[in-house]
A and B are shown apart, each in its own frame.
Chain A
Amino acid sequence: MSPNTWVIEMPTQKARAHPFPRRISPYRTPSRDAFTRDPPAMGPSPPLKNHDHPVFEDIRTIMSVLKASGLMPIYEQVSSYEVGPPTKTNEFYSFFVRGVVHALTIFNIYSLFTPNSAQLFYSYRETDNVNQWIELLLCILTYTLTVFVCARNTKNMLRIMNEILELDEEVRRQFGANLNQDFGFSVKFLVGIAASQAYIIVLKIYAVQGVITSTSYILLAFYAIQNGLTATYIVFASALLRIVYIRFHFINQLLNGYTYGPQQKRKGGGRRRQRDNINSYPNPNSNPAIMEHFPEDSLFIYRMHNKLLRIYKGINDCCNLILVSFLGYSFYTVTTNCYNLFVQITAKGMVSPNILQWCLAWLCLHVSLLALLSRSCGLTTREANATSQILARVYAKCREYKNMIDKFLTKSIKQEVQFTAYGFFAIDNSTLFKIFSAVTTYLVILIQFKQLEDSKVEDPVPEQT
């Protein structure tokens, strides 16, 4: 619902994208205040910059995995700051992969409901089998939903990427800053996901008695792939959020330069900041002459902030449903695995190392994913909300620009941005806590059920008439 209205209303927004460069450009002459704002090193002709500088270099690995699995469009790079829709062949490839995935899903569901898969469910208790079954179904559901939502949001995703690139270009033109950062975490997570899935498969294969049929192999492999890709998508969403976070952070740093002036002395003279590290951005502080750039900078920052909020909301709209189902699935998995661990530990004499490892692998995977997701969301949200706080500090500092700051502040009162899971709840650091408290509650309920079940077995109720 929300994305639609937003999209309907937004086309008008595109019209206004044009005036900005025009308005800004007069100030961007090289003669401008030498010590902070030199013109970008490669200067006035970024469009001439070739295609050998691929966009989204920092999250390349994860992008290629998602592209190969049909979750992301295989976009064409038009220029350094624009991506175009995929070519027909590539589009067909994504389409084909998604078709194969759906076919496999149907096959899996079919074999789940027939005795084909019986050998994979081997557990001692009947409830455990039901649990695993539900877990499998939830996994299938989550992945299918991911594929569907990704297919539907292809255009939105490209739009978001273009918006990020456009914003980068503007930042580069204005400040010469290159907002790239190391996204090593995404690669580490990818490796971790692959390793844990492989480990889980091996564990499962060892646990099954007898000869494993090919159907079971397919089931297991596809199950691992589904899990892995869903997890990869979550890492990708976190990486996107991290990208947005870096931009918000850049803006805030910029504003910060206007706040605490007198006590700090400008370091590093008129040198430029390093290209790859926004943190070394020198504060244009203290000097009263600096303040005179505040009006135009503030306009730029306000515009950036609006655009970033739009991107942020766009990402939220794209991932909404996927996040809800992933969180649900993850919650369920964590709960059942905790429960299994509990059962294993309390049952005396029959501790099986296989199940213990299996549970621990799942727990590690899901807990780390949840932590990553909530941390990225929390960081970005905090940074987005911090802008008005920093501006409020500038407010106290200079009287002559109070009007400009007022403009922003009046519109930010009580307007906290939030990254929500379909409006159900906000995802930030507190989500992790909430999920774990819910896990505890359900764990207690499950354990109570187990006790009830045991007592029912021990002392059977007299048969009713």
Chain B
Amino acid sequence: MFRPSGSGFRQRMAGLTLKGALYASWILGVFPFTYDSWTRKLHRSKWLMAYGLVLNAAFILLVVTNDTESETPMKMEVFHRNALAEQINGIHDVQSLSMVSLVLLRAFWKSGDIERTLNELLDLQHRHFRHYSLEECRGFDRSVLIKGVAVILEIISMLILELGMSPNFSRQLFVGVTSLCFMLLAVLLGATHFHLAVMFIYRYVWIVNRELLRLVNNLANGETVESARVDYLLDLYHRLLELSDRLASIYDYQMVLVMISFLLANVLGIYFFIIYSITLNNELDLRSVVFFQALIINMLDFWLSIEACDLAERTARQTSTILKLFNDIEQLDEMVERSISDFALFCTHRRLRFHHCGLFYVNYDMGFRMAITSFLYLLFLIQFDYRNL
């Protein structure tokens, strides 16, 4: 599964990203499974779980005890000017820490389900999709690559933000920053697992689509097509949808929490920025650039998590469009026609969509509304404390 899908540069880079994500997750203890290459299955390992729990608890403890972040002069300046900002920042800190611990705890708690789902994905890959060429699926490679780059950028911007803002370097600061980065990496990797799983599902749906298109072409060229072929594809499609539902239900709380904290961070970031640059009449300097890049990278990462789901959803919607192409084939075999109808009906009743906690579907529509809402909140926040601004 982690083999590169082709020999091109991009494919190799994507393979490298996948491998990097796997090893980093093992090292940070957020992927408590061992791979048995004989049975081609993942097994949950108690030792790895214990290791991960202890390690991450240690990170969180280190972060809590070595918190020097709020002493940076820029923040002090902002907080001194605006007490509301300080209060909100406090809430955000608590929320982030609880988010991290909840995400990690839930990942360990659900590891049995994760194991089964991943094993099924591995099984699908080995039994059914191994024979198809994967080279043309550019969306997969690109998305995986961008996600990898975004995670790295996120860490780097965190480092710049923490180290660039602090005037005095001390041992405590280094310990705090290092553990903070590891903690962040652990959470981001947890979110990346979901992202990658979605991308794998996307790729399989894409292959099913391609096969369907091939069938239509064969029919249009006057060749015969067996209905068993369509039924086989329908079966695969069905399993993929099942898997996606399970994935969404395993990762729902984690993803919702991660998204909320991304959104909060963005809104608060812009708010602090406004206080800092406009209210305090500071000139735009290097520090604001540092601040700005952190914001942009944050938004990028947030958008990527939406884009992956939207890509999968769109691809699944294309399946019905492709099925429509069977409409104008003359003298279609009755069995084939029945299978196609089955497939079409299945598509109408079940769609590939990622529904988190029964709250919302993750797609562009929702992403747009989230962006608009956070902009509104920003406005309200400014209005709320306008006199102090």
User: Which residues of A come within 8 Å of B, CB atoms?
Assistant: 1-2, 4-6, 8-9, 12-13, 15-16, 19, 23, 299-300, 302-303, 305-306, 309, 406-408, 410-415, 422-425, 445, 448-449, 452, 456, 461, 464
Measured in the bound complex, the distance between the Cα atoms of B344 and A1 in whole Å is 24
Known: A19-B221, A19-B222, A424-B365. A413 touches B345 (CB 8 A): yes
CB of A182 to closest CB in B, whole Å: 31
Known: A1-B314, A415-B320. A306 touches B328 (CB 8 A): yes
B34 within 8 A of A: no
Give B236-257 as 1s and 0s: 1 = Cβ < 8 Å from A's Cβ atoms.
Answer: 0000000000000000000000
Q: Which residues from B are CB-within-8-Å of A424? A: 364-365, 367-368
Q: Which residues from A are CB-within-8-Å of B213? A: 9, 12-13
Q: Which residues from A are CB-within-8-Å of B95? A: none
B139 within 8 A of A: yes
B383 within 8 A of A: yes
Known: A423-B363, A445-B379. A16 touches B217 (CB 8 A): yes
CB of B69 to closest CB in A, whole Å: 24
Report yes or no: B221 in contact with A16, Cβ–Cβ below 8 A. yes
Measured in the bound complex, the distance between the Cα atoms of B349 and A415 in whole Å is 11
Which of A303, A406, A415, A445 is within 8 Å of B328, CB to CB?
Answer: A303
Q: Which residues from A are CB-within-8-Å of B330? A: 23, 299
Q: Which residues from A are CB-within-8-Å of B364? A: 422-424
Report yes or no: B217 in contact with A306, Cβ–Cβ below 8 A. no
Report yes or no: A12 in contact with B214, Cβ–Cβ below 8 A. yes
Which of B139, B368, B379 is within 8 Å of A1, CB to CB?
Answer: B139
The B326-343 residues at the A interface (CB cut-off 8 A) are 326-328, 330, 337, 341
Which residue in chain B gives the minimum CB-CB distance to A459?
Answer: B387
The count of A-to-B residue pairs whose CB atoms sit within 8 angstroms is 109
Q: Which residues from A are CB-within-8-Å of B210? A: 9
Q: Which residues from B are CB-within-8-Å of A411? A: 320, 323-324, 326-327, 344
Which of B138, B314, B341 is within 8 Å of A406, CB to CB?
Answer: B341
Report yes or no: A414 in contact with B348, Cβ–Cβ below 8 A. yes
Q: Which residues from A are CB-within-8-Å of B349? A: 414
CB of B32 to closest CB in A, whole Å: 33
Top 4 A-B residue pairs of the complex, sorted by shortest distance between their CB atoms: A423-B364, A424-B368, A16-B220, A302-B327
Q: Which residues from A are CB-within-8-Å of B217? A: 12-13, 15-16
Q: Which residues from A are CB-within-8-Å of B61? A: none
Report yes or no: B209 in contact with A16, Cβ–Cβ below 8 A. no
Q: Which residues from B are CB-within-8-Å of A414? A: 348-349
Which residue in chain A gives the minimum CB-CB distance to B136?
Answer: A8
In terms of DSSP, what is the predominant structure of the interface of chain B? Answer: helix
Report yes or no: B348 in contact with A5, Cβ–Cβ below 8 A. no
The B298-355 residues at the A interface (CB cut-off 8 A) are 307, 310-311, 314-315, 318, 320-328, 330, 337, 341, 344-345, 348-349
Report yes or no: A452 in contact with B341, Cβ–Cβ below 8 A. no
The B369-389 residues at the A interface (CB cut-off 8 A) are 379, 383, 386-388
CB of B40 to closest CB in A, whole Å: 29
B206 within 8 A of A: yes
Report yes or no: A9 in contact with B209, Cβ–Cβ below 8 A. yes
B275 within 8 A of A: no
B177 within 8 A of A: no
Q: Which residues from A are CB-within-8-Å of B209? A: 9
Report yes or no: A407 in contact with B341, Cβ–Cβ below 8 A. yes
Report yes or no: B386 in contact with A456, Cβ–Cβ below 8 A. yes
Measured in the bound complex, the distance between the Cα atoms of B216 and A13 in whole Å is 9
CB of A348 to closest CB in B, whole Å: 25
Measured in the bound complex, the distance between the Cα atoms of B137 and A8 in whole Å is 9
Measured in the bound complex, the distance between the Cα atoms of B334 and A340 in whole Å is 67
Which residue in chain B gives the minimum CB-CB distance to A2?
Answer: B314
Measured in the bound complex, the distance between the Cα atoms of B210 and A12 in whole Å is 9
CB of B6 to closest CB in A, whole Å: 14
Report yes or no: B139 in contact with A19, Cβ–Cβ below 8 A. no
Q: Which residues from B are CB-within-8-Å of A408? A: 324, 327
Given A15-B217, A452-B386, 19 more A-B residue pairs with CB atoms under 8 Å apart are: A1-B311, A5-B206, A8-B136, A9-B318, A12-B213, A12-B214, A15-B221, A19-B221, A302-B327, A306-B324, A406-B341, A410-B344, A411-B323, A415-B348, A423-B314, A424-B364, A424-B368, A445-B379, A452-B387
Report yes or no: B221 in contact with A410, Cβ–Cβ below 8 A. no
Would you give 9 A-B contacts (Cβ < 8 Å), ordered by A?
A5-B314, A8-B136, A12-B217, A16-B217, A16-B221, A19-B220, A303-B327, A411-B326, A461-B388
Measured in the bound complex, the distance between the Cα atoms of B387 and A452 in whole Å is 8
CB of B387 to closest CB in A, whole Å: 6
Known: A9-B210, A23-B330. A423 touches B139 (CB 8 A): no
CB of B369 to closest CB in A, whole Å: 8
Report yes or no: B139 in contact with A5, Cβ–Cβ below 8 A. yes
Q: Which residues from B are CB-within-8-Å of A2? A: 314
Which of A303, A309, A445 is within 8 Å of B321, CB to CB?
Answer: A309
Which residue in chain A gives the minimum CB-CB distance to B142?
Answer: A1
Report yes or no: B383 in contact with A306, Cβ–Cβ below 8 A. no
Q: Which residues from A are CB-within-8-Å of B345? A: 410, 413
Measured in the bound complex, the distance between the Cα atoms of B219 and A12 in whole Å is 12
Report yes or no: B328 in contact with A302, Cβ–Cβ below 8 A. yes
Which residue in chain A gives the minimum CB-CB distance to B337?
Answer: A407
